Chain A
């Protein structure tokens, strides 16, 4: 169990990237949803022992992450948001090297590890190719493979599905789901579907703060009755944007389907719909933005 208490991080330039984050993350998949720049990566790096937060307390299974990073690292699998590789090294060799670094001591164990993982992430065919020449998706799969070395208890994946095609994405999510039953897996993403499909628990983080936390189903249930939908022509969009608090819009057959949030019937032909996780997420974002702008006005 990973618990974060009052984790706050302020960068030297004054940016408050994390602002009093309090979360308890049990075993299983945990989705961390938030827009770009919300502080997700800062939080992920902090948990991954790469960054020391300005204040706050982080612990995993009773281990203080800041005090004993090496104990966390021994149980950690981390896939950063983006990463590079050494030149002139093949996938097989680099994964083998990573296995050594992670503490897979014997050659035969490393062989088991490397070959199993390469097969799992579908890189077996290209194992003898220089990894520097890989496409983005292939490289991302390699990143996943290295994060899984040594059966970590805490897996942190920062935007893991970026750059994966649908098939690869499914494969990856299945892999995570399988592993995620027994260990803590944090899936940091801005893609709602990833969370919706997989995570029994989730949190939304915006501007360094946890805005929402809970099981996706509970959150969806809580939003019941407050999401309204209408199909309008694209030219009407700006009028509606002025009148209503549009939380999302999508195109369907050339017309815009907009969702707005309202505790009561807004009229104007809107019909109540059962919101998905996406609506919950966008509602949260919209609320946060409104608060931020009103607080800016109030100042």
Chain B
């Protein structure tokens, strides 16, 4: 009996559209994740797209979302018979309840599992796609897919099947089952979120987290790329335990279902019966209003009634459908987390300003309106036929327009409502965070309106394709092809928005500058596409198959005779709109601007490298002084530049030619005037590279004056990104974007290995070796020189211009504001030009003018930044030497990028980071102060000492700025708080190692690798100052600064820095430590076991524990070998676990260093109070791969 019920159920489910649709959706999602570079789950860097790690990770994450599909399968089993009225018939047969339930459950589960197999299948197929870079692929191993599917996928589908089968058995309703899913998900995220923030629960999560994500990450946390590519998370340990538990839980859930499921139909409760009786009584009292002759129709008068009735019906059908409900819930679940954690950094939340929530909202919710548009277009078109109402409806006098127009209105209304709901979710998050300045108009104009129009266009395309299709599924399939094609076309070089249906470009959102960047273009494109949509609408209307047995072919045959009157008029109107707006856009994009595909851009860069890299070593004179006149016209999108350079030949040899590089795609070099020179190579147009031969070679020490004019004018829309630097409010340009430079520079070259190989370039262009003395001729910051600057910036009178230098004059001339900035000592020839309508907050501090220029509504952290500047400059002046300016400025720029950058005394700072950080909670990491201190650290490390462009160069700049900031933080917040920050840095370093593409290098040889010079650098420098003494380290650094301050070639290298640290080392163990930290890739593993405490007779407590120590050296590929450890390590005793939470000084009972060796050793400490936790290296000062086991709870002996 079981067998036949199972078979029936399985085949029923497999034939059900739900199966086809979910399998297709999950196939496409996974396929997209595998084949698109923008979406990566588990892969990236050196981890292959089809590595066992990526496969398992994808299966795990997809299985979480598959819950929505699973529920559709299993709840259908329970609900179906009641809904179809078939239930009583089935239950009256001799089938036993157990067979019935188990057979059906198993059938539905196997069907769900079959649907889920689309995920590994999509990975398998996707990884064979020819456009994937072979380097990102490993060998295809079927076993990895099978393993992931059966160890992680299948149990997850089983447990969700069982749980929601039980829920459906109790609730007997599809809708309530889905409410159950949401409640489950919310609880799941809440519990794992809470527990996840407590590392001591990691083990618990690994065992009990029902989807195996905890167990999987427990096993793979710090896997190297090599391990990720080759190992599967074996079915043992926490994985086996977790999966076993999941099986048991599934059985338990099924038992509950069996126990609660009743064969008899659920009767009405007494209350419901009474209510029903009352209702009947009331209804019975109402008499029908019977007339002797029925009213006659009036076709002409019923147009509006028909429009309203049809629209209401269509909308009702969508709003009341379970699919809509489920999609909205899915979207809200996904976006809830994204919104809550939006813009969070180092665990510190941001002020949830509306502009900053829209991007996360789009990212996390955006797929839902697309699915709604496509799914319901099919439903609307086919519903009458599927419901069998088409003959009745089609034979009424309903005019043809009343089929199409109400559907469009209904879909639009549903989409707008959907986006309103999404906005409400964001508003809910704002209110939860206690933020009340909701700026509703921004939701409407920046999110709801544009996105609704975009989605409506997709819906119209979907309706059109449905009207041509022989079934709903064909129509959906065509839309799936459209979605895939629209992505692939762009990625294979067909990027023009005028032929990618519905393409409206990317609109950048900023509080400062609104939607200027991309906004206007997007509305022009919407106008253009809406004309196309009008034409599609007319075609859909004319192809509409009213009646029975009407074929598409016959509709197309009849088309010419029906194409007249209003439909023809609308189509021609659409054509007119599209043709004129399209022609205008084409003129803008292809005639005035140049249409360049990203492939062509890459090819141009590759050609540039092939042609001009040979000139890298050609000696060029240095610029010693720069005079710039910059005229900004923000409202008109125009900027004019005039400059005068003083050059000196400091190469020590005659210079015969000048290599002029001017590469910005938005600016134009109008003129460059080099005295007595002839242009011998002019590749200015294509490559921005010109070579001028000097009639008389420039002799060593000789000087020369060069002048130039350039301009940057927004002339027209572009197919690619609009200029986001020269904008109406928030201009942020640097001199490489408008001023010519001398000599070849690598910074623009192609980086990505795959791309480079595609154009026959060596896969990587490595930095010069540390030993390459010749490389010390070029510095790390674009090889710019130490110059004196005199910059005059004019802008419109309502804006404030800012550039590096002391303000020597500031006046209004007519409608222009004119400000002149002069340097008081040499600065790096690297300038920022900014202009916006700023509010300023300032403070005098020891003769230094501290200023924050910010958007009027972004004043949240201005005082905090001023404090940070004051403390930083105090610390640096005391420890590193004099600060070279009498001003320090932070200037906000629109959040088109998320960074802060240090120019001379002048720090442009993105709207998206510090300005909207919510550091109000004193327990969160104050990264506003941290970033500020880091950038002002650069006023020493970069703007006083500049390193050579070679290995280790970024250590002298970025690691030292990290160190500077850490010391400021230590001074402000104390050692206990720093450790929380270092935990983030350490985790970021360890997690990023696996993603290394080329080779991990020791810190002193770092080749501009962020995870090394920022992340590892912070950890290493902190430990060095901790061991060698902060003051001693600072004195050494001050000497180094003294040696290189404002010095030209040869530039500083890390050889000096390493030597400095080695001199500070007082014994072998310190020398070993310096070498291990700077010259080796060293990993440590400390752990504590068996901590017992006993009270001492004389008072106090004695704690004994076993400390285990391990040291490893890793090579560039991650291969490890054991090494001997013999050094001091911190030992601490606490009354509270030191983790990501705040630790008060009174929580620390003992903190001191003890000598330790590789292997195990017993350690005894004595404290006055009884410790609850003890640990070695409890503050994670070492690069410890498993920091969680450094601390242990003390047990009584």
Residues of A within 8 A of B (CB): 11-12, 45, 48-52, 70, 73-74, 76, 78, 80, 82-88, 97-98, 100-106, 109-113, 115-120, 124-125, 127-128, 133, 143, 146, 148-151
Contact = CB atoms under 8 A, between A and B. Distances in A.
Given A50-B548, A115-B290, A116-B289, A70 B391 contact: no
A125 B548 contact: no
A106 B293 CA distance: 16
Given A112-B289, A118-B288, A125-B284, A50 B296 contact: no
A161 to B, nearest CB: 18
A34 B549 CA distance: 22
Contact of A97 (B313, B391, B397, B550): B313
Interface stretch (B298-306, B328-336, B687-695, B1037-1045): B298-306
Contacts of B279: 128
B305 A78 contact: no
B302 A45 contact: no
B309 interface: yes
B399 interface: yes
A172 B1159 CA distance: 97
27 contacts: A11-B549, A45-B548, A49-B547, A50-B394, A51-B547, A51-B549, A73-B396, A74-B397, A78-B391, A78-B392, A80-B392, A83-B388, A83-B389, A84-B387, A86-B317, A97-B309, A100-B302, A103-B298, A104-B295, A104-B297, A104-B302, A105-B301, A106-B301, A112-B289, A112-B291, A113-B295, A116-B289
B588 to A, nearest CB: 45
Interface string B382-425: 01000111011111111100100000000000000000000000
Contact of B306 (A101, A128, A133): A101
A98 B302 contact: no
Contacts of B295: 104, 109-110, 112-113, 150
Contacts of A120: 290
Interface of B: 85, 279, 283-284, 288-291, 293-299, 301-302, 305-306, 309-310, 313, 317, 320, 383, 387-389, 391-399, 402, 546-551, 554
Nearest to B551: A12
Contacts of B290: 115-116, 119-120
A88 B320 contact: yes
Contacts of A12: 551
A102 B396 contact: yes
Nearest to A124: B288
Contact of B297 (A80, A97, A115, A150): A150
A281 B393 CA distance: 33
Given A76-B395, A151-B294, 11 more contacts: A50-B547, A51-B550, A73-B398, A84-B387, A87-B387, A100-B302, A100-B309, A101-B396, A104-B297, A113-B291, A115-B290
A84 B294 CA distance: 25
B394 A151 contact: no
B288 to A, nearest CB: 4
B395 A78 contact: yes
Given A103-B299, A112-B291, A148-B294, A85 B284 contact: no
Given A45-B548, A50-B548, A83-B388, A113 B294 contact: yes
Contacts of B396: 73, 76, 98, 101-103
A82 B387 CA distance: 11
A100 B291 CA distance: 18
A50 B599 CA distance: 54
Contacts of A125: 283-284
Given A84-B387, A101-B309, A73 B397 contact: yes
A88 B393 CA distance: 18
A146 B294 CA distance: 12
B547 A98 contact: no
A119 B554 CA distance: 42
B233 to A, nearest CB: 46
Most chain A beta carbons < 10 A, residue from B290, B297, B389: B297
B323 to A, nearest CB: 12
A65 B546 CA distance: 15
A84 B389 contact: yes
Contacts of A113: 291, 294-295
A163 to B, nearest CB: 15
Contact of B388 (A50, A82, A149): A82
A103 B397 contact: yes
A252 B1032 CA distance: 122
Contact of A105 (B302, B317, B554): B302
A49 B305 contact: no
Nearest to A108: B295
A141 B541 CA distance: 33
A138 to B, nearest CB: 13
A29 B296 CA distance: 21
Most chain B beta carbons < 10 A, residue from A74, A111, A117, A150: A150
Given A74-B297, A100-B309, A104-B302, A116 B389 contact: no
Contact of A101 (B293, B317, B393, B550): B393
A105 to B, nearest CB: 4
Contact of B305 (A74, A85, A105, A111): A105
Given A100-B309, A150-B295, A73 B395 contact: yes
A73 B398 CA distance: 8
A151 B296 CA distance: 6
Given A115-B288, A128-B283, A150-B297, A45 B313 contact: no
Contacts of B296: 150-151
B387 A86 contact: yes
A151 B297 CA distance: 8
Nearest to A109: B295
A261 B687 CA distance: 101
Contacts of A86: 313, 317, 383, 387, 389
A103 B297 contact: yes
B397 A102 contact: yes
Contacts of B299: 74, 103
Closest 6 CB pairs of A and B: A84-B388, A103-B297, A50-B547, A109-B295, A105-B301, A115-B288
B701 to A, nearest CB: 91
Contacts of B549: 11, 51
A80 B284 contact: no
A119 B288 contact: yes
Given A113-B295, A128-B283, A98 B397 contact: no
Most chain B beta carbons < 10 A, residue from A51, A78, A86, A105: A105
